[in-house]
Amino acid sequence: MSSETVSSTNYIQHHLTNWTYGQFPDGHWGFAHSAADAKSMGFMAIHVDTMLWSVLTGLVFLFFFRKAAKSATAGIPSGLQNFVEMIFEFIDTSVRGSFTAKNDLVAPLALTVFAWIFLMNLMDLVPVDWIPHFAGWVGATFFGADPHHVYMKVVPSTDPNATIGMAFSVFFLVLYYSFKNKGIGGFTAELTLMPFQSSNKVVQALFIPINFLLEFVSLIAKPISLALRLFGNMYAGEMIFILIAIMFSAGWALGTLGGFLQLGWAIFHILIITLQAFIFMTLTIVYLDMAHSEH
């Protein structure tokens, strides 16, 4: 029983460890061979698998949407054109319903955010062992590496580095348009003169630090909530897939049950995948609308 526990623990840790490249404590650079190696590399380490799969899913998005745009026709549309037009109409409706100002960047940004995050999340439906086992085989066959030391996480949105990076990109746009549309004085006033107000100048001066604390916390919470909501939901979903996969090694009865659980969770997870992409997109639109609005 103890060996099974250790084996299950190692299995989970292996699937939750990123393929990491960075600087070892002794100064040389290379790929981590264990979770301890990855941790020792510190903040500047690069999660190669996160970069790889996020770029690949982004290229898939660009390829198919560019193909649909180049082959678009006013006559009978193809299936791809129908699909792309449906997404365009969905994004257009979302932007018109949540964004009250005029900015030609918002709709393309919303489309990119939704489609890109959806595709990254969609990687969670690939059986958890397929790509990691293939990566281990490639590492052992062509590079002589121990397959147990070859890591490959294929869902970029289960990496907080990816979700925080996307969230802060949106946050920087919010700050840019806040300063651009309201000016330094207007944005500063927004952070210091609300929600508590008074016609008495002395009382209003006393309210300024309280207002700033409340508004600053609200401002900083935007990228944090964006990042952690996406990461938390996708990480939990991936963990459930991994736990179910462990059942396949526990005999035919539990393996059969695990197969049904895997199928059921995958069907339900499609909703989570789509919903998380939609929420990230909607909040991006709402935050940019707030950056364009003067209170």
Q: Name the maximum alpha-carbon separation found in the chain.
A: 77
- Which residues, including other chains, have CB under 8 Å from residue 38's CB and lie 6 or more apart? 17, 18, 20, 22, 32, 45
Q: Tell me which residue of 150, 159, 147, 130 sits closest to 241, measured CA to CA.
A: 130
What is the distance between the terminal CA atoms of the chain, rounded to a whole angstrom?
63
Token digits of residue 254? 């539990």
Hey, which residues are catalytic here?
Answer: 225, 229, 233
Count the alpha carbons within 13 Å of 283 in the hemisphere toward its beta carbon: 20
Query: How many CB atoms sit inside 10 A of residue 127's CB?
Result: 12
Residue 141's CB: how many other CB atoms inside 10 A? 10
Q: For residues 84-97, b (16+ Cβ closer than 10 Å) or e, as one string?
A: beeeeeebeebbee
**Pairing between β-strand 29-31 and β-strand 46-47 as defined by DSSP bridges:** unpaired
How far is residue 128's CA from residue 241's CA, in Å, rounded to a whole number?
7
User: For residues 220-251, b (16+ Cβ closer than 10 Å) or e, as one string?
Assistant: eebbeebbbbbbebbbebbebbbbbbbbbeee
Contact by Cβ (8 Å): 230, 117: yes
